[in-house]
Amino acid sequence: MGVEQQALGLTTAEAERLRVQQDLLNEAQRAGITLTAEQAAKLSEIAERSGAAAAALDGAAKAQATVIDRLDEVRGTSYDALSGFVDDIRAGVDASDALASALDTVLDRLIDIALQNSLTGLLGASGTTGGGVLSSLLGSIGLGGGGFADGGTTGPSSFIITERLS
């Protein structure tokens, strides 16, 4: 079975560890190197570190995407508020009323964000089948979702190399 097939269902760290370990073992075999137990352990350690680095990088990329999404929300809300303010002024609305309307737009968006965050904490993130407080409570009494809803793996958690390097 190929590394890609073995990596199905693994976490980012596990898949990267598997890929790096297999690449290193393949290179040793191509070079005609017979690895000692100590060398094989060192290759496993390098692969493990590569997996951890890949997981950290993946986490940072997801965090950055979240920040960008939040900034896009702020930009959109700012645009809506300023656009509404300018439209009101152009329509002859008193400046204080136009400003109050713009601030109401911002306040409405902040309320939406707070409600969305509260519901995400309670029910889990949009597009997922679990992860919130309610999911955890239901799961604790056996009424949770489909077993793998919280990110369980469906593939092998490890692999064994059955070929010998010679």
Instruction: Let me know the angle formed at the C-alpha of 70 by 65 and 73, rounded to the nearest 5 degrees.
Output: 130
Residue 134 included in any domain: no
Number of helices (H), then strands (E), belonging to the chain: the values are 5, 0
pLDDT exceeds cutoff 70 at 4: no
Give the model confidence (pLDDT) of 43-61 as tens digits.
999 999 999 999 999 999 9
Residue 113 included in any domain: yes
Residue 110 included in any domain: yes
Three-class SS of residue 116? helix
Residue 166 included in any domain: no
Residue 54 included in any domain: yes
Domain count, the chain: 1
Residue 78 included in any domain: yes
Residue 80 included in any domain: yes
Phi and psi dihedrals of 78, rounded to 5? -60, -45
**Under a CB-based contact definition with an 8 Å cutoff, are residues 60 and 27 in contact?**
no
How far apart, in whole angstroms, are the C-alpha atoms of residue 48 and residue 21? 8
Which range marks the domain in which residue 60 is found? 7-127
Residue 154 included in any domain: no
Give the model confidence (pLDDT) of 105-164 as tens digits.
999 999 998 898 888 888 777 766 666 666 666 666 766 554 444 444 444 444 444 444
Confidence of residue 7 (pLDDT cuts 50, 70, 90): low
Give the model confidence (pLDDT) of 21-44 as tens digits.
999 999 999 999 999 999 999 999
